[in-house]
Amino acid sequence: MSGAVQVTDPLVEHGEGPIWDGRAECLLWVDMLAGDVMAWEPPDGSIERRHVGNVAATIRPRRAGGFVVATERGFALLGGGSDGVKPLVDAFDDPSLRMNDGGCDPQGRFYCGSMAYDFAPGRASLYKLDTDHSVDVVLRGVTISNGLVWSLDGSTVYYIDTRTQRVDAFDFEATEGTFSKRRTVVEIPTSDGEPDGMTIDVDGYLWVAMFGGAAVHRYSPQGRLDAVLDLPVSQVSSCAFGGPNLDELYITTSREGRGEREPQAGALFMSRPGVRGVPVREYVG
């Protein structure tokens, strides 16, 4: 597996949630607590920054055009080009909580989980934005809701609540978008860092960013550690496959509290690990 190379300057304070936008052939991610969506377009490396609110938690393409974005306490639509932000619906009104990470299921519903600003245990939830713009709670009692991906056949959903130090799996009921039969797939020692964002490749293996662990880990669907991709910065936050052939793994990082000691922290990195990813799922609402 090739190493990770830095592809942007350290542009963000807390980078998260990368996706490859195949329509525009660019990499999108968020500077979460700045409330900005970032876009990096190879090969010239041009960068665009768009402000969407107090928080930009995660973003997914929308089938009707533009994007859906999880903001501080709810959801919004972001137009393409210079089109602005259209608030859609709030999921909660508690100012001590914020949205954090999520993704779309195979049926085109958008999910995002929350966390407390003070990291208080058990106060957060995982929310579902349905295609009719209604919002339901999928999981309660969460601490830091993070990585969320579906198996290639859509029957299983993998989920990270960071403070559990686990990747869990659920049976996924496609008609209603419900989770059941929770079980642990991966247990991660604290010495490896905290599990954060996550993606999946064409072999059904999970790629998990290790915040504080300076690495991305690849796990088999049965939970076996298959490979470790080391990075030169400690706070590795998320990853996603991109490029025209989806054979480039893009990795976001955070510079919070690390900028002076780790000058590359906050940059976007890329690796060619020898395996391809799958296209990002769209929101159909």
Is 196 an active-site residue? yes
Note whether 278 and 152 are within 8 A (CB): yes
Q: Which of 118, 196, 203, 247 is catalytic?
A: 196
Residues designated as active site: 196
